Amino acid sequence: MSDEILPPFSSGVNATHDPTLQSWVEAANDPKSDFPIQNLPLVAFEAEHHGHTHPHLGSVIGDQVVDIGQLAEAGIFGDPEEDLLPRALHMPTWNFIAGTPELWSVVRERLQGFLRADAPGGQQARRLRQKALRPLRDTELIAPMAVFNYTDFYASKHHATNVGMMFRPDNALLPNYKHVPIGYHGRASSIVTSGTPIRRPHGQTKADDAAAPTFGPCKMLDYEMELGVYVGEGNEIGSPIGKDQVEREVFGMCILNDWSARDLQKWEYQPLGPFLAKNFATSVSPMIVTAGGGGALEPFRVAGPSRDADDPAPLDYLQLPGQWGLDITVEVWLLTSQMRERGLREQMLSRGNTRDLFWTVAQMLVHHASNGCNLQPGDLLGTGTISGRDPSSRGCLLELTWDGPPALGADGKPKPRKPIQLPTGETRTFLQDGDEIVMRAYCEREGFRRIGFGECRGRIEG
């Protein structure tokens, strides 16, 4: 493969999704594994060479990490001296690959070909297998993308309605919500990888009966269960993304926790929206589950979100061809300091699904660029909190501990929150120091292998 000649871009379910495919990595063949050969999420990690370390690109299969740099040197992706792809795979992040959609399916197919159980297994292949794999449990994964721009959306109508009911009982959804994907520009510099401790933020708050605000630590610290979308090719400034270009723009997805200081947010958000309540930290899982180019998520694309009879149809530029809904289960778990000390496992707080989003990731992306805003490879878009109709699917504590409508009691004051009961006898309405939030996501569909996203963890520090 030369620099000038690239294979055609393709999408759709293909041979790489065949559920009967097996790998010589035995752990990948376990039906319960999040990382079968049909998944192959993309990662980055620090590799040691001659006394120093530098980032290597990799992929996860079963309980192992594949060093893609080693495979590139061995010629799995083409001539390492002459061809574009093997040289690109020596970069420290996946941004170049994300920006070159013609390479997406090639990386997946070549990597899968190396890992298949029926791949040639001569002496040279066996040596490369031993050299290129390392245990996942012993590998510290780092950020797989350089993210320079981050935008968070508000795509769950159920979440928006619940939050609206708390503050505007008579006007829960603002008039624009059903017409336009709502979003705001976040802070890319405070995006951190799973496992990074989260320092409790400080800021201004004002009690309803106080004469003036005060400054101090957040008392209503919350998480938000979201998924993140990594942008692919991107667009030139002034040139919107057309309907026929969307397949080239959704490179892959991750788990995203957009931590929120609710008491700071309540005081500061009008008239311009979130600021210090959001920009102190956003956690992301370290694996990119591929979406475009026939990626791992292809079998789990479904029809777009259903709309109620009185919901308006999207404007023409948001009516996109193909199936852009996603069937991804998302879970939130909590582990407190007491639970940890007593050897207890984390407790599930909620389970939701991206099918409940009102706007698809493709609509968010197209709308983002509709005014000519230039998206770049590796830009990160958050879906916003993923919540469904059922209270058990609410994706944040703000909703989970809310007692439901009406938001105000008979005395006209806010109704007290219903605390979450924990096996230690503790309760939670918002997060305390030492609490660890664990988010998981996965896809399951009859006739295909389970595809997992790994975990996104964050522990609160004072």
Give the span between the Cα atoms of 440 and 453, in whole angstroms.
7
Q: Are 202 and 218 in contact (CB under 8 A)?
A: yes
Q: Catalytic residue numbers?
A: 159
Give the span between the Cα atoms of 155 and 172, in whole angstroms.
15
Quote the tokens at residue 406. Answer: 């009406």
235 CB-contact burial (10 Å; exposed 0-12 / middle 13-18 / buried 19+) = buried
* Burial letters 252-278, b for 16+ CB under 10 A, else e: bbbbbbbbbbbbbbbbbeeeebbebbb
Name 399's bridge partners.
none
Which is it for the CA torsion 264, 268, 270, 272, positive or negative? negative
Strand, helix or coil for residue 226: strand
**DSSP secondary structure letters along 135-161:** EGGG--EE-SS----EEEE---HHHHH
Q: Which of 315, 330, 362, 306 is nearest to 452 (CA)?
A: 330
Q: Are 257 and 278 in contact (CB under 8 A)?
A: no
My answer on whether omega of the bond before 299 falls inside 30° of 0, hence cis, is no
Residues 6 or more apart in contact with residue 196 via CB below 8 angstroms: 281, 283, 458
Q: Are 63 and 135 in contact (CB under 8 A)?
A: yes
* Burial letters 88-115, b for 16+ CB under 10 A, else e: bbebebbbbbbbbbbbbbbbbbbbbebb
Q: Which stretches does DSSP call E strand in 154-222?
A: 183-185, 191-193, 198-199, 202-205, 214-217, 221-222
Residues 6 or more apart in contact with residue 344 via CB below 8 angstroms: 335, 423, 424
Name the helix (H) or strand (E) containing 232: none
Quote the tokens at residue 290. Answer: 């591929």
Quote the tokens at residue 27. Answer: 């752990």
